[in-house]
Amino acid sequence: MQQIKTSFDFEKPIADLVQQIEKVQQVADKTKVDMSATLDELDSKLNETTNNLYKNLTGWNKVQMSRHPDRPQTLDYISMICDDFIELHGDRTVKDDKAIIGGFASINGQTVMVIGHQKGKNTKERQFRNFGMANPEGYRKALRLMRLAEKFNKPVISFIDTMGAYPGLEAEERGQGEAIARNLLEMSILRVPIICIVVGEGASGGALGIGIGDKVYMLEHTWYSVISPESCSSILWRSWDFKEKAAECLKLTSDDMFGNKLIDGIIPEPLGGAHQDPELMGNTLKDYIIKDLASLVKLKTDKLIEQRINKFCAMGVVNE
């Protein structure tokens, strides 16, 4: 099997077995003794342990997986999925928010508008991208690009991966809440197909600001919630120590969201997470996007909007 790179405490059983296999292999190489039976047994145990572990992840485990530093981000998916990409900048009012990127791209010969959060891979990039936390101008840039897509009748693809909208005073002064609310309204009646995919973290209005779509998916090891587990813990228990309990209470995993009919589907990840095989993850995403675009572009515009509005209006409705 493919060797799983471990990073988290809950992956320690895998790391221990991998270490045992390496030691047995070293002994076999040194002594020239046939250790194939032992290696086969350990490989079998590693396979079983790995499959069981990743099938039974807790909510907090999935939050950790979504934050893995090697996990593919929006620009990675664009390079893997799109044949070409022309990035567009600025909201034409304040500035160009680097936390949200977007532009025209081509997927399998179909022109689309791609929009998404970009966190950055290292400290310098994360500072440049403001850790993927968009200011109001970021959401206004996204809206400008969506209107541009509507003008030229091109579908919109959005990749969601943010810890939340930037909570700074200057963001509030420039109308953070209004910018997100405006996007919710405009996306609900946008006259082109919209596909939204949570590829990492999906926190609060920061995620929802580009998250209204005809199809909304989550990758297997991602989360989507009104608040992060740490923030929830700090509010309810005045400490971050209860973040694991908060993650379970929030029901934020892809399984929970699909079970509550808040998303349209779960996209499976490679064993061990998207960061273990980014190319496979990119190909899987591309297949989903191509399949949905083929069906959505056939719908009449009024029917498309009606279905989108009805889907979101049905969320949270309780019949007594």
Average pLDDT over residues 207-224: 97
Segment 127-138 mean pLDDT: 96
| 137 assigned to some structural domain | yes
Residue 197 has pLDDT above 70, yes or no: yes
Residue 302 burial by Cβ neighbours in a 10 Å radius (0-12, 13-18, 19+): exposed
CATH of the domain at 90: 3.90.226.10
- 101 and 156 together in one domain: yes
Report yes or no: 260 and 211 within 8 Å, Cβ to Cβ. no
Over range 223-239, report the average pLDDT: 94
Please indicate, yes or no, whether residues 22 and 163 belong to a single structural domain of this protein.
no
- Give 3's pLDDT tier (boundaries 50, 70, 90): low
pLDDT at 220: 96
Regarding whether 212 and 167 lie in a shared domain, the answer is: yes
Model confidence at 46: pLDDT above 80: yes
> Out of 62-71, 269-278, 309-318, which region has the weakest mean confidence (pLDDT)?
309-318
Range of lowest pLDDT (20-29, 67-76, 204-213, 214-223): 20-29
For residue 35, name the pLDDT band (cuts at 50, 70, 90): confident
Residue 7: its pLDDT value, please?
A: 76
Tokens of 188: 């609900």
pLDDT at 6: 64
Residues 72 and 206 in one domain: yes
Domain assignment present for 319 = no
Within this chain, do residues 126 and 186 fall inside the same structural domain, yes or no?
A: yes
The β-bridge partners of 112 are 105
> Do residues 140 and 275 both lie within one domain?
yes
250 assigned to some structural domain: yes
Q: How many domains does the chain have?
A: 2
**Residue-level pLDDT at 265:** 96
Contact between 6 and 18 under an 8 Å Cβ cutoff? The reply is: yes
Pairing of strands 265-267, 215-219: parallel
Rounded mean pLDDT, 226-234: 94
Are 51 and 67 part of one and the same domain?
Answer: no
For residues 43 and 88, membership in a common domain is answered with no
Asked if 16 and 106 sit in the same domain, the reply is no
Considering the domain architecture, whether residues 109 and 239 belong to the same structural domain is answered as yes
Considering the domain boundaries, does residue 3 fall inside one?
A: no
Label residue 1 by pLDDT band (50, 70, 90): very low
Residue 4 belongs to some domain of the structure: no
Query: Is 217's pLDDT higher than 80?
Result: yes
Question: Given this model, what pLDDT does residue 33 score?
Answer: 84
Give the range of the structural domain holding residue 35, as residue numbers without chain letter. Answer: 9-56
| Domain-located, residue 98 | yes
- Mean pLDDT along residues 7-13: 88
Q: What is the pLDDT of residues 161-193, one digit of tens each?
A: 999 999 999 999 999 999 999 999 999 999 999
Instruction: Supply the mean pLDDT for the chain.
Output: 94
Same domain flag for 31 and 144: no
pLDDT band per the 50, 70, 90 thresholds, residue 39:
confident
Interval 58-106: pLDDT, tens: 999 999 999 999 999 999 999 999 999 999 999 999 999 999 999 999 9
